[in-house]
Structure 1
């Protein structure tokens, strides 16, 4: 009898061990991904991304796209549901303030390790990395390399403000002989002035922000420390063009057409001009390049383009762990795999990741190259402008007075519009 009991006990132990091993070796529950997309224009491509990932990994990816202008409302509604997004967009500091508690800290994660720059990272007040950029736009000075070569120069010779100034002034001096000028028009009417009161103003604002460690909210005041650099590049534009400075206020010029038709070597604008220049005007992409805003700031030979975005990924920290893991794996696949990077390049153009696929937009590719070569990104500090339309209107008015009669006295008006105008609008908005 004892022998029988012993045999039965041994069998029971063996069965218990088998069941225990089976339980410990059971596969973990597979997670899934729910991406609430911010960009309606990218929906069709992102549906392809989801299908490709499912085919390759077996993991379900749902992409839901909010209608244009309704992202915040859609996100609020979706976050209240039983199966909220695992991947969503937190694209500016205001969104961090609103959604930061829901964001997984991305510091030290696999997706952070793939970034080519941290310039688009957004943090909360405690230093948590709430979201990271997945696409961006860029602006700077577009260059017609073919015309530059006809003038006897190469783009490699432009490394800072001094070299840009010397080349531009020489081209302008020989413009009648060459058949083209240095810069396109800098019209200050409503169709063009935003390029200067907004984008070019970033020269002064970015460096002041950088000195302060990078703005995370609109400062109450600015010093205008880098306004002499803003003046450097503005004077270069208006004094080395076919158009008289005192004619700029009324505008009516078409700088895009001037550049597209080969009338000037340099044209300030952004990557969004690529399709028009190569399509409408038939320019050869190989003849196009974009250089930074060189303005005489020490160390600017390591400057990159002015780049910014509101397209920043965040992972829902309140999702199930298996869904968080699945979402992280999906993000890494998008920015490292051949399929993922090609599809993202197709819809976003450029992504700030080490293995980014080339896009057909040479300006975005060049922004990536500056990043990869260790150049600093001139981030969009102008996004912090208080009462932006009113502030810019004051700047435009002051610049028009300067253009009409350039002098130290009229330039003082520009400085006042920048500095005192900023303080006044901030105070009015924060009463």
Structure 2
């Protein structure tokens, strides 16, 4: 399966989320695009939060240094979250201390607006014209592009096909009732149905809550209503259905979910201790290190009988690389040259799909299913079939996701009721909205 012209506009991201990026560039790119980093010795500081690509990124920067001996890299990886969520506070602390990185990541939309004053305008970079439609939108503000999309990511419930077969599950669950029936079969076969890691707030506050937000009749209008104080989460049927789904995972999941972190959650799934995990294709490199022969699939996270999100998984641009506009000019030029080299050179393109296991955000990067792994292939399949929904959590006011996650952890721990949970969501939004 080749990924050459990934039909984003047709299927990956909904029209309600995306707008056509206004910027393009006539600059050419190619395998020998590197050149802006020549000259005096430069150290490029990179700050990133994706622990699962730490080794791969180090190897890629080492390769760039071989081709550009005057440029070396200092990489700092902070965070246990798949989208770098846990590194957000650490990044803010670095800027507050005056120890700003030259390259870091940004989630786009609201986060792009928050950090705009620190971001270099990348609208004139050669790779702009190679990006798939809509992938630049998260980092486009007033017609200017401030970030390079890392990749495309999707998530739902990843599942172990071998364990499903062992439990006699022949059809992939599409509704909550079907999911519970499958969980009962797994449990009867001596298999823990869910590997849950609710010690990580982002599993709940980002990825979990995205499902009921996406299931609204008009997600953008619903978010707008919360910002205007006219919308309500309390009593909203989609949120009530999400809590039922959450309850199901707790009932049939591993014990001590609130003390289970990301690494442990993924390890439990990789070793076959559990059959289902709420994660996405970003865990593929970690799975390959532990058990490279897993036969995997991805299924939706159902709300009741499915409703408007039945059969769909969440796919979007998870993060973009950005350059600090206050960095020394030599550092900025080297940083921008590295980013261009990463997505235009043969070595960079190969590493992104074969080592990072990324579903590319650029039409000039080809990817075989064998390269991006079974999870990436599943994300690609759902995307090509138009069975996707965008990441609404990227539009939440700054700080809301973290507090939503903390409130959900309280619910999982039995400290608050469903009604109290929804009230806390509303008070959090009212407190933090602009």
**What TM-score bracket applies, with the shorter chain setting the length?**
0.5 to 0.7
Match of 1:97 in 2: 116
Match of 2:297 in 1: 289
Match of 1:352 in 2: 361
1:149 equivalent among 150, 165, 178: 165
SS at match of 1:290: strand
**Counterparts of 1:128 and 1:226, CA distance in 2:** 40
Larger Rg: 1
Q: Sort the Cα spacing of 1:233 and 1:301 in 2 relative to 1 into closer, same or farther, 3 A.
A: same
Q: Sort the Cα spacing of 1:208 and 1:149 in 2 relative to 1 into closer, same or farther, 3 A.
A: same
Greater relative contact order structure (CA < 8 Å, 6+ sep): 2
Deviation at 1:308, TM superposition (A): 1.3
Match of 1:379 in 2: 391
> Is the CA contact (8 Å cut-off) linking 2:163 and 2:275 kept in structure 1?
yes
In the alignment, structure 1 residue 163 sits paired with structure 2 residue 165? no
In the alignment, structure 1 residue 414 sits paired with structure 2 residue 397? no
Cα-to-partner distance string for 1:26-85 (whole Å, 9 max, x where unaligned): xxxx96248945347424422313545x6xxxxx984544656579759x8999xxxxx8
2:275 equivalent among 262, 265, 280: 265
Q: Sort the Cα spacing of 1:263 and 1:232 in 2 relative to 1 into closer, same or farther, 3 A.
A: farther
> Is the CA contact (8 Å cut-off) linking 2:201 and 2:409 kept in structure 1?
yes
**Counterparts of 2:272 and 2:260, CA distance in 1:** 19
Cα-to-partner distance string for 1:85-132 (whole Å, 9 max, x where unaligned): 8x88666414652145x40436xx752343345346334542323223
Cα-to-partner distance string for 1:369-391 (whole Å, 9 max, x where unaligned): 54455554532616645365444
Deviation at 1:200, TM superposition (A): 0.8
**Counterparts of 1:78 and 1:249, CA distance in 2:** 35
**Counterparts of 2:285 and 2:379, CA distance in 1:** 17
Match of 1:343 in 2: 351
**Counterparts of 2:162 and 2:383, CA distance in 1:** 25
In the alignment, structure 1 residue 49 sits paired with structure 2 residue 55? no
**Counterparts of 2:75 and 2:195, CA distance in 1:** 39
Q: Which runs of 5+ in 1 are unaligned?
A: 1-29, 55-59, 80-84, 404-409
Q: How does 1:149-228 map to 2 (within 5 A)?
A: 149-153=165-169, 158=172, 163-175=174-186, 177-180=188-191, 183-184=193-194, 186=196, 191=199, 194-206=202-214, 211-212=219-220, 219=227, 223-224=232-233, 228=237
Q: Which structure dedicates a bigger proportion of its chain to helix?
A: 1
Match of 2:7 in 1: none
Cα-to-partner distance string for 1:244-272 (whole Å, 9 max, x where unaligned): 99x87877797556544545432223445
In the alignment, structure 1 residue 127 sits paired with structure 2 residue 143? yes
**Counterparts of 1:110 and 1:294, CA distance in 2:** 41
Cα-to-partner distance string for 1:151-205 (whole Å, 9 max, x where unaligned): 4456xx54xxx72435323323444653335x326575xx356532443122234
Over aligned residue pairs, what C-alpha RMSD do you find?
5.1
Match of 1:3 in 2: none
Which moves more between the two structures, 135-144 or 374-383? Answer: 374-383
Q: Sort the Cα spacing of 1:371 and 1:98 in 2 relative to 1 into closer, same or farther, 3 A.
A: farther
**Counterparts of 1:152 and 1:112, CA distance in 2:** 48
Q: Which runs of 5+ in 2 are unaligned?
A: 1-33, 49-53, 78-89
The number of residues matched between the two structures is 361
SS at match of 1:224: coil
> Is the CA contact (8 Å cut-off) linking 2:150 and 2:317 kept in structure 1?
no
**Counterparts of 1:402 and 1:315, CA distance in 2:** 42
SS at match of 2:117: helix
| TM-score, with length taken from structure 2 | 0.61
| TM-score, with length taken from structure 1 | 0.62
> Is the CA contact (8 Å cut-off) linking 1:394 and 1:421 kept in structure 2?
no
Match of 1:229 in 2: 238
Match of 1:396 in 2: 409
SS at match of 1:38: strand
Match of 2:379 in 1: 367
> Is the CA contact (8 Å cut-off) linking 2:158 and 2:299 kept in structure 1?
yes
